[in-house]
């Protein structure tokens, strides 16, 4: 017969809801891998000025150094004469016309080696996080910290393009990192805007009901009947097409957020219709709490699980939409970079892009990976927050 538990026995540890959700999320391997992938992408985007060997708009086009559509630079690790391992180096390249294909080809000039240098100097830039401050504000304050340090590079006239160069001889690798700032940031900010508007209007519609509920839901229905692409293009046409990229950035966020809040509002309204009859809501009302306090202190927090999952699933859709706008020439414009804009440049070459310049399609791979990662994270959060779907 077993002995009864004494008062000195160690009690079972109880986990909070947050700890349970965190443990369940960690069991979703694809979600964890996706979280690491996105974390790396955001770090690369934040420190793109340091990691990229060249500036966002630094061009090697025409003149003494012409690198228009230059292929990825070949980095040599062995001495060509002895075959022994040596310090990494590159050769300068020159473009020559192929008389058979009548196309320019790049040939290595093996007469001079250019060693790969780490922590070298390049164009001046404003480092992170000071580059988050608008330039006009920095000029007003007289605060413009600049650096010239780069992670790696080579001496001129040689160049190093890890993933080739575009039409204007700009480094594709660096522009992908700079473009990540636009594409990834727009997705998050637009999702925040859509979520906030949807939560607030959905909670108001569900809590008050009546004519206010009817009005908000009719607006949602009207928005849902208009094809999203047509509505997006119509709203974008209200603003100048030649606006600065800094203006377009906020315009795109505003447009994306205002056309996608309807689904969130409809779902939140359904939850609030039942939540407003809960005992704790009735008790708060009986104690004299006003409607604003009840909605934001008692009702909306109960929809947190839905809000978190919705937020993670809204982002990939906005990333695809922003990329589509830039692809159509209605988003970010040169000389700034976004993944959609880089794909637009790639499609100008037609089939030649696939046959001769496949590195121009790399931004599409990053869009695919990012969207997939956000969807996996959304699945992981949904399973972690749903008690019925929790794993043992």
- For the chain, the domains span 76-169, 175-390
- How confident is the model over 293-314, as pLDDT tens digits? 988 888 888 888 888 888 988 9
CATH of 175-390, one of 3.40.50.150, 1.20.1300.10, 3.40.50.1000, 1.10.3720.10: 1.10.3720.10
Of 347, 344, 190, the C-alpha closest to 255 is 190
Least confident of 3-12, 104-113, 153-162, 180-189: 3-12
Residue 225: both structure tokens together: 């009947």
The arithmetic mean of pLDDT across residues 337-363, rounded, is: 86
Q: Longest C-alpha distance within the chain, in Å?
A: 95
Percent of the chain predicted with pLDDT > 70: 93
Closest CA to 202 of 307, 278, 314, 317: 307
Element (H, E) at 91: strand 85-98
pLDDT of residue 6: 47
Q: Cis (ω within 30 of 0) for the bond into 335?
A: yes
Instruction: Write down the pLDDT at residue 205.
Output: 92
Residues 6+ apart with CB under 8 A from 126: 49, 138, 144, 145, 146, 147
How confident is the model over 119-167, as pLDDT tens digits? 999 888 888 877 777 777 777 887 778 889 999 999 988 999 999 998 8
Question: How is residue 302 annotated by DSSP?
Answer: G
Q: Which of 270, 268, 315, 254 is nearest to 296 (CA)?
A: 268
Per-residue pLDDT for 38 more than 90? yes
Least confident of 56-65, 174-183, 248-257: 56-65
- Beta bridge pairs of residue 96: 105
pTM above 0.85? yes
Q: Measuring CA to CA, which residue among 259, 253, 261, 265 is closest to residue 189? A: 253
67 Cβ contact list (under 8 Å, min separation 6): 60, 61, 93, 159, 161, 165, 169
Mean predicted confidence (pLDDT) in 172-185:
93
Mean pLDDT for the stretch of residues 335-364: 86
- pLDDT higher at 149 or 13: 149
Q: Is the pLDDT of residue 325 over 60?
A: yes
Can you tell me which residue has the tokens 């636009």? 182
Per-residue model confidence (pLDDT) at position 356: 83
More confident residue, 266 or 247: 266
Name the residue with higher pLDDT: 195 or 127. Answer: 195
- Paired with 85 in beta bridges are 78
Residue 221: pLDDT above 50?
yes
Tell me what percent of the residues of the chain surpass a pLDDT of 90: 35
Mean pLDDT of the chain: 85
Cβ atoms of 148 and 53 closer than 8 Å = no
Closest among 278, 263, 108 to 201, alpha carbons compared: 263
Distance, CA of 150 to CA of 119 (rounded, Å) = 5
Question: Could you tell me which residue, 281 or 3, shows the higher pLDDT?
Answer: 281
| Average pLDDT of span 242-264 | 85
Q: What is the pLDDT of residues 58-104, one digit of tens each?
A: 888 765 567 888 899 999 998 888 888 899 999 998 887 776 766 77
């Amino acid at each position: 017969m077993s002995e009864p538990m004494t008062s000195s026995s160690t009690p079972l540890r109880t986990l909070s809801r947050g700890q349970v959700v965190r443990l369940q999320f960690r069991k979703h391997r694809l979600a964890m891998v996706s979280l690491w992938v996105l974390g790396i992408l955001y770090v690369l985007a934040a420190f793109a000025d340091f990691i990229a060997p060249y500036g966002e708009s630094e061009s090697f086009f025409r003149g003494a150094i012409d690198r228009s559509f230059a292929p990825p630079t070949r980095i040599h690790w062995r001495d060509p004469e002895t075959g022994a391992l040596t310090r990494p180096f590159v050769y300068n390249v020159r473009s020559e016309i192929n008389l058979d294909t009548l196309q320019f080809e790049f040939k290595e000039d093996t007469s001079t080696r250019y060693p790969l240098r780490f922590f070298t100097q390049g164009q001046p830039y404003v480092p992170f996080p000071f580059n988050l401050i608008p330039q006009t504000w920095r000029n007003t304050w007289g605060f413009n910290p600049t650096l010239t340090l780069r992670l790696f590079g080579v001496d001129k006239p040689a160049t190093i393009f890890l993933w080739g160069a575009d039409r204007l001889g700009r480094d594709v690798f660096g522009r992908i990192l700079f473009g990540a700032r636009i594409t990834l940031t727009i997705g998050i900010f637009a999702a925040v805007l859509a979520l906030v508007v949807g939560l607030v209007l959905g909670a108001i519609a569900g809590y008050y009901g009546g004519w206010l509920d009817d009005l908000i839901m009719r607006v949602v229905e009207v928005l849902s009947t208009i094809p999203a692409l047509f509505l997006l293009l119509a709203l974008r046409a209200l603003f100048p097409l030649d606006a600065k990229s800094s203006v377009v950035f906020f315009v795109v966020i505003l447009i994306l957020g205002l056309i996608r809040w309807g689904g969130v509002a409809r779902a939140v309204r359904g939850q609030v219709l039942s939540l407003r009859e809960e005992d704790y809501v009735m008790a708060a009302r009986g104690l004299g709490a006003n409607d604003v306090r009840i909605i934001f202190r008692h009702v909306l927090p109960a929809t947190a699980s839905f809000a978190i999952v919705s937020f993670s699933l809204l982002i990939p859709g906005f990333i695809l939409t922003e990329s589509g706008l830039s692809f159509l020439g209605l988003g970010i414009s040169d000389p700034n970079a976004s993944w959609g804009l880089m794909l637009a440049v790639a499609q100008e070459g037609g089939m030649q892009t696939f046959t001769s310049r496949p590195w121009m399609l790399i931004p599409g791979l990053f869009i695919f990976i990012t969207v997939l990662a956000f969807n996996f994270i959304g699945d992981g959060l949904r399973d972690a927050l749903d008690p019925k779907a929790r794993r043992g």
